[in-house]
Structure 1
Amino acid sequence: MIRDMHDGDMKAVVAMLQRGVQWRALEIAAILKSATVFLYEQQGEIVACGMYDVTSFGEEGTAEIYVYTRPEWRNQGIGSSLFDQLFRQLEQQEKRMTAVAATYRVDEGEAEAFFAGRGFVPLWGQHLMQYSGGMLAEPTLAIKPFAEGDLERYIQSQSDAYYEVRKGIDLKPYRLTDCSEQTMESWKKWLLTEMKDDIHMFYDEAGAFVGSLIVTPHGEAYDVFVDPLHQGKGYGKQLAAFFVNRTLERGLQPYLLTGTHNKPAIALYERTGFQTCQTMLTARRPLS
């Protein structure tokens, strides 16, 4: 039967979802807390999970949906039942959504066929890449902590750096600076509070800002970018080396996500010593 998720289900659901995706338990728990979640229970055992969130996707008006069934319970219509329940709920949302996106693994299982059969069209993919080597040569770039006075420059530079990538996968707005006022305010607050101590700013010998990345306490790098004015100078490799070294010093295994369409970045990370261990695809379909 399908039922709502309760607080006491959290541990079991997180453990189940970790069988399907290589995400941290805290990340999965945070997603579950912000989403509307349904569970499929069979003889008192949780065998599948489905959820949706109308606020988490990086495009205005698009909700996110996720369905996972334990491998031994697949091909029995359980995932279909959860999907239908989620879709009905989405169509009845007071906040009107124009589309729904789903993210799923494509390097194993049959999720790609499941969502394709329900009208989802691929948008982009992401590789989860892990590093297994040793320390690297330290960067020669100057590295400074992020300060509140860096905020506007940081946002504009990241917007410029991601423009071609977002345009290439048709993720609107193409420029991050064109996001809604509400989204921008949330982003700025996140940068200045939760992430401020994890953002690193890189400068060349002339003092020009060339790029940045976030190095998390749990060993992940994200929002890695080199300003378009300074790309092609080997600075990306220095950013990657900084991340690897700081993470290894903490006794952690470095990992990151990169788009499957971003061939230069993939090649850079592979040369640095990263290997792909999981591939996800994000697809979307309109809501009638």
Structure 2
Amino acid sequence: MGTAGTSTDGIAGERRQLLNVAYRLLGSLAEAEDAVQEAYVRWYGLPRSRRDEIVAPGAWLSTVTGRICLDVLGSARARRERYVGAWLPEPLPDRCEWGTGRGIDHSDPADQMVLDESVTMAFLVVLESMTPAERVAFVLHDVFRYPFAEIADVLGRTSAACKQLAASARRRVRDTQAPVTAAGQAEAVRHVKEAWESKNIAALVDILDPAAVMTADGGGLVGTALRPVEGGALIAQYMVAIADKAPGLELLERSVNGMPGLVALRAGAVMTVASFEVVDGRVTRIWVVRNPEKLRPWAGDGDGPAVRPA
């Protein structure tokens, strides 16, 4: 899972890979960073003689990070039962397109994330439906190509059992994933933006699938729908009602978890990040994150808002 060598630079160089693994396992950038930090604490807590005995420190850190994430996933279910409203993964920005002029900040975990199909909101939501063991086996093997022998060390199970877990998870993904190109999604998202800005319910109904579902995450910290809104017509009415209640809301087309999405600003501050699933040119799912604690990667660097008009 990693490379040999015990130099400080070599160990520190594993952080980006570990963060990418942990985010996909946990769906939370903050929790991923905590898990990776804890793995490093455990590494530096080892006696020097013990560290020198470890042939592949990267593999050791990967195994420990995986075990920490497994523990977090086990406790997350109980915590999310107490969560106010729906829980959604934290949305990831693509800083390369923002034009803030500040460049890449390699100390910021959001800047170290690889944005690919394994971090789309649709994919992460499917991962949420898995058991912790399924999620770990699937992400480590199918996404990061770790051998089952090493995954067995993380899960404390046999390689054969890990193969079965990954196969079960793979079926869940295959049964729920609806492939769409970024270009096709961008067009649909643009139509949603235009219809939403003009408060055109008919146009929204036209772009929304009749069986579309919108799920919002406010975490009890801001107002939002506590239950999923089902049906294109009801979603359209809800979106227009939001626009009526929030004058001055500015919608921007931005990459969210590597796919076209929308970011809503008010007085320059990011209030909402929306992700979409598009099938046959129509929006089937909308995931709306309003919990301010999950929007911190979008908040800028102290010199103004990170998300700005193009």
TM-score normalised by the chain length of structure 2 = 0.25
1 or 2, which has the higher strand percentage? 1
Larger RCO (CA under 8 A, 6+ residues apart): 1
